[in-house]
Amino acid sequence: MNAPAYNFAYLDEQTKRMIRRAILKAIAIPGYQVPFASREMPMPYGWGTGGVQVTAAILGPEDVLKVIDQGSDDTTNAISIRKFFGKTAGVATTTSTADATVIQTRHRIPEAPLHAGQVLVYQVPIPEPLRFLEPRETETRRMHALGEYGLMHVKLYEDIARFGHIATSYAYPVKVNARYVMDPSPTPKFDNPKMDNCPALQLFGAGREKRIYAIPPHTTVVSLDFEDHPFTRYRFDAPCALCGAGDSYLDEIVTDDKGGRMFVCSDTDYCESRQSAGHRGSESAAPHKERAHG
Amino acid sequence: MYVAVKGGERAIENAHRLLAHERRGDRDVPELSLAQISEQLSLGVDRVMTEGSLYDRELAALAIKQARGDLIEAIFLVRAFRATLPRFGATEPVDTGAMQVRRRVSSTFKDIPGGQILGPTFDYTHRLLDPQLAEGFAPEAPAAGEASAAATPRVTDILGRDGLIEPSPVSEADAPVGDLTREPLNFPADRDLRLQNLARADEGFLLALGYSSQRGYGRNHPFAGEIRFGEVEVEFTAEDADFAVPLGSIALTECQMVNQFKGSATEAPCFTRGYGLAFGQSERKTMSMALVDRSLRARELGEEVTAPGQDEEFVMSHSDNVQATGFVEHLKLPHYVDFQSELGLLRKLRKEFAEANEMQPMQEAAE
């Protein structure tokens, strides 16, 4: 039987070179979707294969990797991807946003500001911001080439006409470097301002759709809006019940079947750092400790 | 009280252990061997090799065993392994005209040079459950005869001699071999890439699309010119050698559909081709593939594109079951961050709706 043997970080060097070329091109044209020959990865499409390929291509033995899903290091898919790189690359892993050199994420940007030298790798399901307005790739590529984004503005305008608001709460479209309209991946629009003028490199990988795009450090990223309907962030108006933070994006936790709710930070590292610095919320009578499971 | 979603790591490990246990099933029942799967579930193995794009019966059998008989999961396992294999080059085109035929039927001619050969087929079996097969059934030895020395030319080649069917595209010996697993796919795609996509495509998806074309969604009047199944030799020309070296033989099924074409201002009416090719004995797959291949040639042949089966972007973007199953099943992953955002928006919209409706009667009263 052909027993398999795998390279550092799983992908062969030939493939990594191909992906790095795509990444370099993506950095050179901020917000432009670069096609790449996405490989079949040992996890399913739609579960982060694009992000995993980007991470595999840029990871070096000295890197410190953090993986989050929904802002949390402890969600099952984040654990699975972290273990994958722990096993195939043997790199150090962390849950600390500040200590990580590479952060792979699904659906969130960490609350703590990123710093120069860090790379944030986004997992992207549908890279094309115009996809739900125009299903054809041949059409959307032409629209990007011509900078023809009227359709998107019409959609946002129709939202306002119908609901009084732009009815997009996540994967909220942005314009990068005053040129390409880009899908920020399904992060809540709360996170959009963090992409603007960010000192870290932001890379986006869509495995199934075979696209890579990038926001180089200190690039202008503007959420689409209108002068009379400016972009607004949304967060539930409450402090975190565990750390008391009034500025973080919150998860809604259903506590019983009688309408009981509590709101806690979605970014678990941010929440835990605040708690260990002595911040308290309404539900944390004692200093928070990780509960033993089971 | 708030139960932190911790312990995911142990949950995953335990889930994998439980999966391994369930996969084995009742331990009093003997374990399946790969040879049993390969020999007795051979059409499943053929499908996994075809859609997994890797001709290796043993690995396909292992994948089926590991996937608990879920063929799409098995295809996924094979694909993920295949992605890591180095590429030495491309073989010479296989000559299906020189196939050692085990089965070969044509619906367009009563008899053909080399004869119609039924071979191992379900076609004329009555689909009655056979209790004899349940256990210990020893089938009769198959009838044997002397193999004919007569050539078995492809039916489409016979039609081609009179110019009644369009010629097969001439292969350019030095042209690079397209490979959508190595180069990103762009639209419009050439036919070689379309055929590669269809060969890897989900059998059920192609079956439904082919069927829809028969029912009038982009009808293309097909006849099964020929379906043949058997062994062909694979040859490889190494870079520093100037002759082809035989690597061995593989089992293939080929289907050539013969379709009507009305002709155009510059071309006389003639039959056109739809082509299907797959590993092993995969007749449903190759027939469906040939129907869809012909449908996708609508643009090239100047036909109006009206149906899903004729739409290259639609077909090629959704045909791959590994991609499709991944994205459909990723809905199992947590989405609570986005959901929270949607909840916020919906609450706001509903509040405004309620306020607007409360205002309404007051306005009316004032009038």
Instruction: Give the closest-approach CA distance of A227 to chain B in angstroms.
Output: 21
Residue B109 falls in which region: left (phi positive, over 0), alpha (psi -120 to 50) or beta: beta
Distance CA A243, CA A265 (A): 8
Mean pLDDT of B40-66: 98
Size of interface A-B (CB pairs under 8 A): 163
Instruction: Give the closest-approach CA distance of A199 to chain B in angstroms.
Output: 24
Q: What residue in B sits closest to A37 (Cα-Cα)?
A: B184
- Residue B286, pLDDT > 50, answer yes
Q: What is the DSSP letter of B30?
A: P
More confident residue, A74 or B263: A74
Alpha helices in chain B (DSSP H): 8-24, 34-40, 42-52, 57-66, 71-82, 155-161, 191-200, 203-214, 283-296, 312-318, 321-329, 336-366
Residue A2 pLDDT = 62
Q: B313 and A77 in contact by Cβ < 8 A?
A: no
Residue B250 pLDDT = 98
Distance CA B64, CA B45 (A): 8
The sign of the CA dihedral A278, A281, A285, A286 is negative
pLDDT mean across residues, chain B: 91
ipTM of the complex: 0.81
pLDDT range class, residue B59, cuts 50, 70, 90: very high
Residue B10 pLDDT = 87
* Distance of alpha carbon B162 from the chain centroid: 33
Q: What residue in A sits closest to B79 (Cα-Cα)?
A: A40
Distance CA A272, CA A274 (A): 5
Spans in chain A with pLDDT lower than 70: 1-4, 285-294
Interface test with B, best of A1, A40, A209, A261 (most B CBs within 10 A): A40
Reported as a single tens digit per residue, the pLDDT across B10-23 is 889 999 999 999 99
Q: A70 and B1 in contact by Cβ < 8 A?
A: no
Interface test with A, best of B72, B333, B350, B353 (most A CBs within 10 A): B333
Catalytic-labelled residue, pool A50, A51, A207, A240: A240
B58 touches chain A (CB under 8 A): yes
Known catalytic residue at A198: no
Reported as a single tens digit per residue, the pLDDT across B249-262 is 999 999 999 998 77
B334 touches chain A (CB under 8 A): yes
Go through B150-181 and write b for each residue having 16 or more CB atoms within 10 A of its CB, e for each that does not: eebbbbbebbbeeeebbeeeeeeeeeeebebb
Q: What is the pTM of this model?
A: 0.88
B354 touches chain A (CB under 8 A): no
Residue B148 pLDDT = 78
Residue B81 pLDDT = 93
Q: CA dist B171 to B93, B155, B259, B292, Å?
A: 9, 19, 22, 22
Three-class secondary structure assignment of A5-47: CCECCECCHHHHHHHHHHHHHHHHCCCCCEECCCCCCCCCCCC
Residue A1 pLDDT = 64
Q: What is the percentage of chain B residues whose pLDDT exceeds 90?
A: 64
Q: A44 and B329 in contact by Cβ < 8 A?
A: yes
Q: Are B321 and B75 in contact (CB under 8 A)?
A: yes
Residue A289 pLDDT = 47
The sign of the CA dihedral B292, B294, B295, B300 is positive
Residue closest to A207 by CA, chosen among A291, A113, A124: A124
B11 vs A70, A76, A252: nearest CB: A76
Number of helices (H), then strands (E), in chain B: 12, 4
Least confident stretch, B36-40, B51-55, B343-347: B343-347
Distance CA A142, CA A155 (A): 19
Distance CA B252, CA B197 (A): 17
Residue B146 pLDDT = 83
Report which secondary-structure segment, H or E, holds A204: strand A201-206
Distance CA B309, CA B311 (A): 6
- Residue B4, pLDDT > 50, answer no
